[in-house]
Structure 1
């Protein structure tokens, strides 16, 4: 029997807006499925409760691991406590209360059925010898007002329920006043029966030991789990620190793969990657050193040959070309080499900035310097100096006034360089960091340069784990903001 009619009817029932089964085709079915998928994606289960819970989840791996361990323990303890309270503790307390209530009912029957001597001495002896109860007969005064009960009083609730069901007379109980005894008063026809019963006769007083043991064992298990979790998290934290330090150009000498197999594999992969990168950098540096030596040799030969020529306009123009080629070569090599090979060291930042500012002032630029925060920082000094120098040179080319503001607080170094030049359009503020990129308007090629200054500066900042952003300056020109974690 063919299933086609059944499938057509099923499709028609699920997607009634697609027309009759005869008109349904594969393309229409796909469109309907896509539409229903989009509708289902827009449904937010539990009113977005899941999103709110995820937003409040701990961010760290250690905290999330603790939550994963603690949550099942808490749920299990709650279930066990509920079952224990519901099935055991309450049942035991109920049966003890039934026994005590039955004894009191027997005493009431004796009092009402048989004559007694004054003082009801026979009843008190019977209660003490047979039921271990202390009984006294009081005048028929009104019962005391109810005693305030604890928030959770299983004994009060169970005992009151049993007295109501078995005895059915007005009563008053006090389970709070004396920790070892339970006082019960029951109003009879012409007297009030007062009974003092040991608490253990109506209440499973040792049941809390189980709860204490359960809570204590849970805390011990949790402490052991936290100890093991911390030891498992340490290698991951060490790997993250080593990767971050390597990204900032710092070398972690004592880093070794530790922890679980997967963590050791990730650590070993990081070490292999670091070794390959360092080997490539070393090979590139060696190659560039050889190229730079050969090119400088040729330029030196040009200078010597030009020095032997008679002075004139042509020789001077050739001399300028050689100097320009030398500057371009230095920029190209600096961009290609980056800051490879330089180690980080402690630098007094105000002294470094003041040296760069003085150098700019000697060139005729008006430079103002302001610094605040912690003076010492661990960076690659030569690379950082080149980064700031490139930004200063770029600002001084197009402006009459340059201001440097630097702050170093909470592990963040921020250097701001403002100028009063023509600025850069917003659409070009990111493009100028590309190598050899030149602007065609105010900051143009007429001022010279290779187009690598900003690219080198950003490369240095990023090698320190930071970045450079360009903004509009309050002086009317361009603002360069260097941010480096240190």
Structure 2
């Protein structure tokens, strides 16, 4: 029993060490290898799909080419060189053993040319030319040199450099120099490039088929992403969108269409419900006002009128909230014209307003909803501050609006809470006798309906900074 416990303890220790080692290796791999490489890898699905297709093909061809060069090409060249050197050795034996009449080697030359497809010359004894520069990569030069050393074992000089179809070989004999001209394809596998041409040509043909096929498979995914992005920005679905492509992509497309329809129905039902409830309550409020007008006690009438006005303001907030969720067709919104209106409003309210516009002033949003969004944000600034600074930056399809003021601000721990419906903070900027606590809720709802958001920070002016970012 004790032995079993000891074995389990040792095994657990080895597992712990192996896990730590694996974690370290994985961490170093990600930090030193994968992260630097991933910076240069493409980010789009189409490019990555091409890499998935092309990379294995290139690796496979590289391995096949290497094996072919090392095995087949070198082996064939070695055998051809062996045969050529064997023929040269036979000519040398004939030259030295058979008597020649007065140095006449014409018969030997004729036999070598007719039977061996070589041209030979017997030169007078003279030093061999100096060795030429060796080519960087030449299987023929290496194979011929080795075979001449093995079979003939005499001083020699060969010239295989260049694109000439003839290879020159000189052998130092006892009393002469044998010069042999051999066609390159007799000693060299010169048709190997055909294999490479076929391999590369086939690869290009396969890529020519694979690239359009991949494009057609990736295109439905891209269209689905664009449709989802348009829905997130509150824009209508692209007119040419329909589920297509592979079965999984079609299922995702149908699921997206059904989800969009369910969300739109839910929004329409809730909007209709809020509108109906507000309409019914308005009717009751109208009766209250009529009864108060007929009542005789003035003090009671004033108090009840104040309550009715508060209820009226709340109903207006309900309706504004309902209108904020209603779907509206996107259109053109002119920021420059809106900022001009802000300037007029600042003069009426006797506020100091500074505006800055950078980038395009025309944006593509839901105009009425976006105007209500900006009105809610700037209205709070006008109500609680004396100096307001509004900056708009429109670059790379993103609109950023920053509103700074010198008002009382909102505590950092309350900034997220003020976006909840009907929340009013004591001693805060959204406390107002006619306020309902829906202004920032409606603003964020509209911003998120456009695919953006709103958040609050401290302002350099001493008050609150409101940052709005929406795709436009």
* TM-score, normalization by structure 1: 0.87
* Aligned twin of 1:24: none
CA contact (8 A) 2:387 2:406 kept: yes
Aligned to 2:48: 64
The counterpart of 1:39, out of the listed 20, 31, 42, is: 20
Q: Which residue of 1 aligns with 2:380?
A: 394
Paired residue total: 466
Which of 101, 105, 110 matches 1:125?
A: 110
Decide which moves more: 232-241 or 157-166. Answer: 157-166
SS in 1 for 2:180: strand
Structure 1 CA distance for aligned equivalents of residues 260 and 365 of structure 2:
20
Cα distance between partner residues in 2 of 1:10 and 1:465: 59
The CA deviation at 1:313 is: 5.8
RMSD: 2.8
Indicate the structure whose relative CO is greater, using CA pairs within 8 Å and at least 6 residues apart.
2
Matches within 5 A, 1:9-408: 10-15=7-12, 39=20, 42-45=23-26, 47-48=28-29, 51-52=34-35, 53=37, 57-116=41-100, 117-118=102-103, 120-138=105-123, 139-149=125-135, 151-252=136-237, 253-307=239-293, 315-408=301-394
1:135-184 alpha-carbon deviations (Å, 9 max, x no partner): 223441242332351x4322222222222222223333222335211122
Which residue pairs with 1:427 in the alignment? 413
Residues 361, 292 of structure 1: alpha-carbon distance in 2 compared, 3 angstrom cutoff? farther
* TM-aligned CA deviation for residue 436 of structure 1: 3.2
What SS is found at the alignment partner of 2:357? Answer: strand
Shift of 1:305: 4.4
Name 1:21's counterpart in structure 2: none
Q: What secondary structure is seen at the aligned counterpart in 2 of 1:255?
A: coil
The 3-state SS of whatever aligns with 2:86 is: helix
- The answer (yes or no) to whether the contact 2:313–2:434 under 8 Å persists in 1 is no
CA deviation after TM superposition for structure 1 residue 290, in Å? 1.1
1:414 CA drift (Å): 1.2
Partner SS state of residue 177, structure 1: coil
Shift, 1:257, TM fit? 1.4
1:10 is displaced (CA, Å) by 3.8
Contact 2:117 2:182 in 1 (8 A): yes
Alpha-carbon separation, structure 2, partners of 1:311 and 1:189: 147
Question: Helix, strand or coil for the counterpart of 1:135?
Answer: strand
Partner of 1:27: none
Deviations 1:9-50 (A, max 9, x none): 64244246xxxxxxxxxxxxxxx97x5686356232494156
Structure 1: tracts of 5 or more residues without a match: 17-31
Change in 2 beyond 3 A, CA 1:305/1:185: farther
**Deviation of 1:365 (Å):** 2.6
Tell me, in whole angstroms, the C-alpha distance in 2 between the residues paired with 1:13 and 1:355: 79
Q: CA deviation at 1:460?
A: 0.8
Is residue 379–residue 464 contact of structure 1 (8 Å, CA) maintained in 2? yes
Give the SS at the match of 1:437.
coil
Q: Distance in 1 between matches of 2:134 and 2:18?
A: 59
Cα distance in 2 for residues equivalent to 1:182 and 1:159: 10
Residues in 1 aligned to 2:209 and 2:465: alpha-carbon distance in whole angstroms: 54
Distance 1:284 1:140, change over 3 A: same
Q: Could you say if the C-alpha distance between residues 38 and 405 of structure 1 is closer, same or farther in structure 2, counting changes exceeding 3 Å?
A: same
Residue-by-residue CA offset, 1:411-455 (whole Å, 9 max, x unaligned): 111111111223333333333323333444453636652222222
Distance 1:112 1:14, change over 3 A: same
Q: In 1, are the aligned partners of 2:82 and 2:147 still within 8 Å (CA)?
A: yes
Aligned position for 1:472 = 458
- Give the direction of change, closer, same or farther, for the CA distance of 1:40–1:322 in structure 2 (3 Å limit): farther
Aligned equivalents of 1:448, 1:44: Cα separation in 2: 64
Q: Is the 8 A contact 2:352 2:386 kept in 1?
A: yes
TM-score, with length taken from structure 2: 0.89
How far, CA to CA, are the matches of 2:316 and 2:229 in structure 1? 30
Match of 1:409 in 2: 395
